[in-house]
Structure 1
Amino acid sequence: MRRRSVWRRLGRGLALLAALVGLALAGAAWWLRASSSPQLTGTVTLSGLQGPVTVTRDAWGVPHIRASTDEDAVYALGFVHWQDRAWQMDFQRRVAQGRLAEVLGEAALPQDRFLRTWGFQRAALSGLPALSARSRQLIRAYTAGVNAGMGQGKVALEFRILGYTPEPWQDVDSLSWSKLMAYDLGGNQDEEVLGAQVVKRLGQDALNAVTAPYPAGAPTVLSADEVGRERPTPPLARPSSGTEQAALPDATLAALRTHLQAARALGLERVPGKGSNNWVIAGRRTSSGKPILADDPHLALTSPMLWYLADLRGKDLKAIGASIPGLPSIVIGRNERVAWGVTNVNPDVQDLYVEPAGARLTQRTEVIKVKGQADVHLTVRESVHGPIVSDVGAGEVGPRVALKWTALQPGDTTLDAFLGLNYAQNWTEFKRALERYVAPSQNFVYADVDGNTGYYAPGRIPIRQGWDGSLPVPGDGRHEWRGYIPHDRLPHTFNPPDGLVVSANNQVVPGAYPYTLGNPRNWAEPYRAQRITQLLTARPGGLTLADVQRVQLDTVSLVWADFRPVLLETSPGSDLARQALTRLRAWDGQEQVDRVEASLFEAWLMQLHGLAADELGNDTRLNSLSVLNQLRGGGELCAVQGEGSCAALLTRSLDAALGDLQERLGPDLDSWTYGRLHRVASNHRAFGKVQALAWLFNHSAPTPGGTNTVNVARPEPGTFAQTHGPSYRQVIDLSDMNRSVYVGSLGQDGHPLGRHASDQQSLWIAGSYLPMSTDPADWGQTRALALRPR
């Protein structure tokens, strides 16, 4: 009895202690939230406003801004961006400026060296004077709104942890992040580095083996008929497919790869399957008789999420959709008459030049401040082509390699284009806005309330003659750009005869097009485009909003359909392999969280994607098409360290995949459901890997989808986490704009304890949406904040 009473008292004591700890944590959480959370109701008096503005946040924290002038509407957007995403905005501009080490310490020096060498901030500064008067005026209003939000005294949690105060916002800061987006989505510097490695190690003929060309007969965004209708006259001679490659020593290649490693550390990397889907359906194919437009950009999934949903209404500016904190516009969405969506074109807009000895260079010194340490002085050199990118942080290493890139050229007016889209009322105004577009080139789909549909791929795309841009070339003047493809000759169509435009980062134009957008290895594999087209054309008419949503959420793997005959011929090396093959033989290719077969296939595919790792480095990943070509044709890459065959490789890779799954999920194959293996990882940029803080800032949950499914969710090598995917979804119904829907990958609130920090994630995973409506009846429970001029 005495012992029992001791344990009972101890239990009561532990319960009391747990309760006290819980109360302390709850109190700390309440204090952190209260001291950091912005004012969302009542009235705030602010300098810089012309008239009263109302900001009504709906049940999901989406602000519906109502102002009497466009400047005030954009001012309010800047104000709420800073209220909800202050840290994200400051971090993004620090990335562009190369000022991460200043607040994060020495560990961020490689990133700062990369960012300063490439000169993202310098490029942003050169673009500001080139913008139209209207854009500069709206940027000034946005800047004033951001600084008004900053002046409210609420401090984001990240600033408290790192112990610094953000500087006032400047107009150029609204251009800075767009340069990083251009890097994330446009260019092939990394492909040139890989190509140079392939040629050096395996020979010129191995290029197509490592990066397979786009398959003949696979879907292109525009058909031959559409290209023919828009063909310029006279056509320009197409460049030859050959390239006089400038050979690079291993030390130079290694130096160039430091850029890729620095970019990856920032979450800026070109990964297979990263891209987007969009499509527009003409009214004759829909049940309403009016177009439906869908878009889901595939980008890094972060905490907070990249996008910020917003509804703006001023005098003429009336747009709703996805904005990016730091930018004064709706980037993807609709106004009252026009809807648009984007996917990445991925043309070749970057070239590496090996400068000859004696080439004239300029140089400058960049001073990098490092938290807790002395300043670091970085010498940056430039040639006529651009920055020397072969000596980042290490001095000169072998030949001097310069980067030429459209996004670093002066006079970038891309923000003019996005603001113009917010105002466009018809196809003519839409096209006129896109004339100002520079980078990164995007596939824009279009629809309007009058029933028109269209497509345009704007941007500065270099013209090369006599070389294809796929490998580094001598910088001796023989491989210079011959200008850019004229805007009116870029790929586009209006009211296409078949009533359907589908883009999924696949090849844009067939061979009839008179210019070259990139080499045949530039494009994403055709699987997503094939599946979207298959689903949308299965019903020749009567498509509804719900039908289109189902297409966005489709998880059938056409990669599996292609691989199935080859993989099922594998000779099992164990009883476990026999069981796995039996299960896969009956699988329908659905990559859902409850399917064991999805785990088996993705784990096996991950092993196969490393086919060239021994020859080219452990971080080299082939795409699925390249692997399949090797397996079908008995390719030389099947050999491991000079031994074996494709048949032997299949047996070994299956065994390796099963061994990996056993280590991760235990011995019972029947319990290897995909949701146990595959989870979204929306991690914080600064604290995502800090163990003491990651639990607070990161968000994870099981997710469906896989490599090149329409609902793309490629597992990350080594972890199986989903780190990239549909960062935002929208489906817009032009028969009734307020029936349109959208959803983000996480939530509106950048504060980790905020009520809207992650409330969209479960909807996003389940395939649900929010109302993309300007009607207050659709907003649910609301909170209103009145902004008044001082």
Structure 2
Amino acid sequence: MTAGNTARSRVGRRSLGPRVAWGLGWTLLALLTLALGAVLWLRATSGAQVSGALTLPGLRGPVTVTRDRWGVPHIRAQASDEDALFALGFVHWQDRAWQMEFQRRVAQGRLSEVLGAAALEQDRFLRTWGFQRAALSALPALAPRTRRLVSAYTAGVNAAMARGQVAPEFRVLGFTPARWTDVDSLSWSKLMAYDLGGNMDEEVLGSRIVKRLGAAGLGAVMTPYPAGAPTILSADELGRERPLPAPTSTPTTVRPAPSRPTAALPDSALRGLQAHLDAARSLGLERVPGKGSNDWVIAGSRTASGRPILADDPHLALTSPMLWYLADLQGPGLRAIGASIPGLPGIVIGRNDRVAWGVTNVNPDVQDLYIEPPGAPLVQRTETIRVKGAPDVQLTVQESAHGPIVSGAGAADVGPRVALKWTALQGGDTTMDAFLDINYAQNWGQFTQALSRYVAPSQNFVYADVDGNTGYYAPGRVPIRRGWDGALPVPGDGSREWAGFIPFAQLPHTLNPPDGLVVTANNKVVPDSSPLSLGNERNWAEPYRAQRITELLEARPRGLSVADVRRVQLDTTSLVWRDFREVMLATRPDGEASRAALERLRGWDGNQTVDSVPSTLFEAWLMTLQTLAQDELGTPSAMNSLSVLNQLRGEGALCRNRGAGVTSCADQLSSSLRRAVDDLGTRLGSDPAGWTYGRLHRVASTHRAFGKVPALAWLFNHSAPTPGGTNTVNVARPEVGTFRQTHGASYRQIVDLSDPDASLYVGSLGQGGNPLGSHVADQQRLWVAGDYLPMSTKPADWGRSTVLTLRPGR
């Protein structure tokens, strides 16, 4: 799921959402009261019923919920699959009530009701974009079976809610959540689509670059995907098997020409657009390097067992509680185990008895900014935002034919109206059909039929089955643009309109590729020789992870095992260092500390372990170099590694900073190394021998409400030293300014199709959401160490367990 690979503006970054709590505006007395009463409140609400029996209305027959030693529920429904989804909703609310409530409040733009005025900017952004309205429009489009399963899930959530269990966060914030609705199970998927799709931020940054540096500056700051770097599919693999009939629509055969700015955006419009991006970032919804995923599938011709192996590890924000919830679902027709998301019915990533699947983000360009001409017809509505402890706020939202106006806060704003067109805000979204149908798929035909219902966010699906087939598909609505590529804002005068969507049968896919290997790491999907275009060339992640995975797997072309795949998934060797090594080591040291740092780097093999000093030096230096464009753009921006390397190798103009006395790339290397070493000395002391990576580089699983409240953060947040770095396979990019790992492999799975119950999976933290619960963080130790849980449906593999029986009743 996606790693953005271009420069990202950091202007006005706020800390609401994952870092919301410091801005709640509570008084010191309130904080002291919370600190003194927190443990008492938490003790009173820390235990969900996990054993015994309950009689619940809405069930057709009995259901057993067996929680294994890690708190993973193994759900067995006898009468119907709806009962299995009912039980999933029940345990989701038992273990993750706050996460579910927070997620739906984000989608609805109703954070201010419980968090106060500090959440107003976030609510304005959320209401303007209309995530909840989009979810409401999607519900009627779903298939009958999906509607039944969603409704059963909703009933299960409400059954758990009716038991009176109160999450600690509800007590602290002083509110009672409303009943769950079917649309609540769709709304978070819209936020995931935002998190993983589109390119509005690239368009905003691109506009800034063009304004400051001209059109030529785009290639310098936002380097296109390099020629010759690995693509997911080769030309001979693309469309190798077509499980569906050939489309009747006009094929997409022409790559669009690169966009050129057709109308300048004034600073007022850029500020308005940036405000929306900042609000999204404060909620943890941001595209940062290292936020993406790896997945791959290996055919039996390459494995020791003669059957496929499939691996996946989605790289997302590492929160407390973790995003994912491991689960095993069985009903009369349903057999699925893997990773679910509380609030959503079904298994998102995992396997059933015959089929396994994994996902990473494709990141096609599915968003466009339109500069509406004066007098363009607009529809207007008023949203009322309720604010805790303050009067209601009225928000005027405008929409054009393209979508919501996102360049300002209301009708009174002056300047050009900039509208957002985005596939995820359009009607008829049947993505929930796709995910639930995948849970049932028994073969490639059924799998791809399910994917034909997929809308957003577009994902790289890898596939394997027990019969030995392997495959790949990139479903989703991808706009067809004729004569422009969507990289920059365009006029809304009708000259740059979408010509429909790429037909499903023409989207990138393959079945049983000849080389027996498909690797995806958010890299470019199809080669330049293909006429198919999924967006502009700056959308893709840097190729380092894809290169390293392929390199390791192809080093052993036969006899690969689950243990081999596990080593690849956990690899922390930096190909970025391999690329930078020569130019960095040629640096003229500016002082003794810089000279000593270069000597330490000279013998380094690039393996980013927690006890490595060179890892610390390299990441600190790279972090400094990534600010090359700040003086030119006038805003804090981080260039990606390839853009920096191109400047250093080619004596690029961005190396120069005359205000700082830097007149060449050689000067920049010397200056940036000195600044990085000085910074590390301030952080870690004067002795470089003690600058081990793990002292600074720690995973930060942060609570979305209390992560910055001093009285409570210690209880809700979780941290540990972690290996890996910028663009390693086990991705763990240090956060600018803090060196914390805030994004990474939020979930890992390795599925062995020769023995599915011997498969492996693990989450980044734990099943529970209550900070006093036994399963709140018991997977983190395994996750850091590179260990896994058995992805097994066999009771013998579950260890010590508890059994809760749910019985139908009135």
**Would you say 1:188 and 2:205 are equivalent positions?**
no
1:405 aligns with 2:416: no
CA-CA distance at 1:616 after TM superposition: 2.4
Matched with 1:52 is: 62
Give the conservation status (yes or no) of the 8 Å contact 1:304–1:749. Answer: yes
Query: Which piece of structure 1 moves more, 243-252 or 552-561?
Result: 243-252
- Aligned partner of 1:37 in structure 2 is 47
Structure 2 counterpart of 1:389: 406
Cα distance in structure 1, aligned partners of 2:36 and 2:50: 22
Give, in whole Å, the separation in 1 of the partners of 2:89 and 2:259.
Answer: 49
- Asked if 1 retains the 8 angstrom alpha-carbon contact of 2:252 and 2:480, the reply is no
Conservation of the 8 A alpha-carbon contact between 2:460 and 2:475: yes
Cα pair distance change 1:671/1:244, threshold 3 Å: closer
Output the CA distance in 1 between the equivalents of 2:260 and 2:144.
43
Kindly report the root-mean-square deviation, in angstroms, between the aligned alpha carbons of the 2 structures.
1.5
The answer to whether the Cα contact below 8 Å between 1:243 and 1:469 also exists between their aligned partners in 2 is no
2:323 counterpart residue number? 306
Partner of 1:569: 586
Deviation at 1:744, TM superposition (A): 0.2
CA–CA distance in structure 2, aligned partners of residues 235 and 312 of structure 1: 40
Residues 168-195 of structure 1 deviation map (CA, whole Å, 9 limit, x = unaligned): 0000000000000000000000000000
Which residue number corresponds to residue 554 of structure 1?
571
Task: Tell me if structure 1 keeps the 8 A contact 2:240–2:513.
Answer: no
SS at match of 2:545: helix
The DSSP-based 3-state class of the residue aligned with 1:225 is coil
Q: What's 2:728 paired with?
A: 709
2:801 match: 782
In the alignment, what sits opposite 1:341?
A: 358
Q: Does 1:719 align with 2:722?
A: no
Q: Tell me, in whole angstroms, the C-alpha distance in 1 between the residues paired with 2:138 and 2:239.
A: 35
Q: Does 1:503 align with 2:513?
A: no
- The alpha-carbon deviation at position 31 of structure 1 amounts to 6.2
Change (3 A) 1:720 1:147: same
Structure 2: how far apart are the matches of 1:733 and 1:395?
Answer: 59
Q: Does structure 2 retain, via aligned residues, the 8 Å contact 1:57–1:784? A: yes
1:610 and 2:620 are equivalent in the alignment: no
Aligned ranges 1:436-455 → 2 under 5 Å: 436-455=453-472
**Rounded Cα–Cα distance in structure 1 between residues aligned with 2:393 and 2:71:** 42
Letter in 2 for 1:470: A
CA 351–230 in structure 1, closer or farther in 2 if over 3 Å, else same: farther
1:230, distance to aligned residue in structure 2 (A) = 6.2
Q: Which residue of 1 aligns with 2:310?
A: 293
> CA offset at residue 26 of structure 1?
12
Matched ranges for 1:502-651 at <5 A: 502-641=519-658, 643-651=662-670
Among 489, 501, 509, the residue aligned to 1:472: 489
> Following the alignment from structure 1 to structure 2, what is the Cα–Cα distance between the partners of residues 180 and 228?
31
Matches within 5 A, 1:2-17: none
Find the aligned partners of 2:495 and 2:685 in 1 and give their Cα distance: 59
State the distance in 2 between where 1:598 and 1:632 align: 22
Q: Deviations over 1:587-642 (max 9, x none)?
A: 00000000000000000000011111222244311000000000000101101146
* 1: CA distance, partners of 2:227 / 2:262: 26
For 2:657 and 2:372, the matched residues in 1 are separated by 37
Secondary structure of 1:369's aligned partner = strand
Q: Which amino acid aligns with 2:498?
A: W
How far is the alpha carbon of 1:690 from its aligned partner?
Answer: 1.0
> 2-side partners of 1:300 and 1:599: how far apart?
22
Q: 1:682 aligns with which of 696, 701, 711?
A: 701
- Asked whether the equivalents of residues 258 and 392 of structure 1 are also in contact (C-alpha less than 8 Å), the reply is no
Structure 2 counterpart of 1:758, from 758, 768, 777: 777
The answer for the alignment partner of 1:166 in structure 2 is 177
Task: Check conservation: 2:259, 2:486, Cα contact below 8 A.
Answer: no
| Alpha-carbon spacing, 1:393–1:653, altered in 2? closer, same or farther (3 Å) | farther
- Check the 8 A contact 2:317/2:743 in 1, yes or no: yes
Structure 2 equivalent of residue 6 of structure 1:
none
Would the aligned equivalents of 2:240 and 2:509 in 1 still touch at CA under 8 Å? no
Distance 2:777 2:374 in 1: 55
Contact 2:698 2:722 in 1 (8 A): yes
Provide TM-score, normalisation by structure 1: 0.96
**Letter of the 1:449 counterpart:** V
What secondary structure is seen at the aligned counterpart in 2 of 1:238?
coil
1:107 alignment partner in structure 2: 118
1:691 aligns with 2:700: no
* Alignment counterpart, residue 74 of structure 2, candidates 49, 60, 64: 64
2-side partners of 1:134 and 1:550: how far apart?
40
Distance in 2 (CA, whole Å) between partners of 1:132 and 1:228 is 28
Query: Match for residue 294 of structure 2?
Result: 277
Provide Cα deviations, 1:80-131, integer angstroms capped at 9, x if missing partner. 0000000000000000000000000000000000000000000000000000
Q: Does 1:426 align with 2:436?
A: no
| TM superposition shift of 1:512 | 2.5
- Residue 218 of structure 1 aligns with an amino acid whose one-letter code is A
How far is 1:30 from its partner? Answer: 7.0
SS of alignment partner, residue 638 of structure 2? coil
SS at match of 2:203: helix
Letter in 2 for 1:322: A
Counterparts of 2:230 and 2:423 in 1: how far apart (Å)?
28
Instruction: Give ranges in structure 2 of 5+ residues lacking alignment.
Output: 1-34
2-structure distance, mates of 1:540, 1:257: 48
Tell me, in whole angstroms, the C-alpha distance in 2 between the residues paired with 1:34 and 1:52. 29
Secondary structure in structure 1 of the residue aligned to 2:348: strand
- Partners of 1:57 and 1:619 in 2: how far apart? 47
What is the TM-score normalised by the length of structure 2? 0.93
4+ long deviations beyond 3 Å: 25-31, 228-235
Moved more, 173-182 or 397-406: 397-406
What secondary structure, in the 3-state scheme, does the structure 2 residue paired with 1:631 have?
A: helix
Q: Partner amino acid for 2:781?
A: S
Task: Give distance in 2, aligned partners of 1:617 and 1:175.
Answer: 40
Of 271, 281, 287 in structure 2, the residue corresponding to residue 264 of structure 1 is 281
* Shift in Å, 1:254: 1.2
**Structure 2 counterpart SS, 1:717:** coil
Distance 2:547 2:618 in 1: 20
Residue number in structure 1 paired with 2:20: none
Q: Is the 8 A contact 1:243 1:468 kept in 2?
A: no
2-structure distance, mates of 1:567, 1:373: 55
The alpha carbon displacement at 1:154 in A equals 1.0
For 1:244 and 1:214, how far apart are their aligned partners in 2?
21
Aligned length: 767
Larger Rg: 1
Greater RCO between the two (CA within 8 Å, min separation 6)?
Answer: 2
Asked whether the 8 Å contact 2:104–2:184 carries over to 1, the reply is yes
| Partner secondary structure for residue 603 of structure 1 | helix
Q: Is the 8 A contact 2:239 2:509 kept in 1?
A: no
Preserved CA contact (<8 Å) 1:301 1:681: yes
Q: What are the Cα deviations for residues 222-265 of structure 1, in whole angstroms up to 9, with x where unaligned? A: 01111274698965222212334321011111111001110110
Q: 1:749 aligns with which of 768, 773, 777?
A: 768
| Residue matched to 1:367 | 384
1:284-319 deviations in Å (ceiling 9; x for gaps)? 100000000000000000000000000000011110
Matched residue, 1:251: 268
How much identity, in percent, do the aligned residues show?
73
Query: Which of 656, 662, 678 does residue 681 from structure 2 map onto?
Result: 662
Mapped partners of 1:236, 1:26: distance in 2: 66
State how far apart, in whole Å, the 1-side matches of 2:252 and 2:123 are. 44
Asked if 2 retains the 8 angstrom alpha-carbon contact of 1:278 and 1:295, the reply is yes
- Give the partner amino acid of 2:503: P
Contact 1:63–1:309 (CA<8 Å) still a contact in 2?
Answer: yes
Choose from 328, 331, 334 the match for 1:317.
334
* Alpha carbons of structure 1 residues 419 and 315: separation in structure 2 relative to 1, 3 Å: same
* 1: CA distance, partners of 2:62 / 2:634: 60
Shift in Å, 1:273:
2.1
- 1-side partners of 2:574 and 2:96: how far apart? 36
Q: Aligned letter for 1:662?
A: G
Q: Aligned AA for 2:579?
A: D
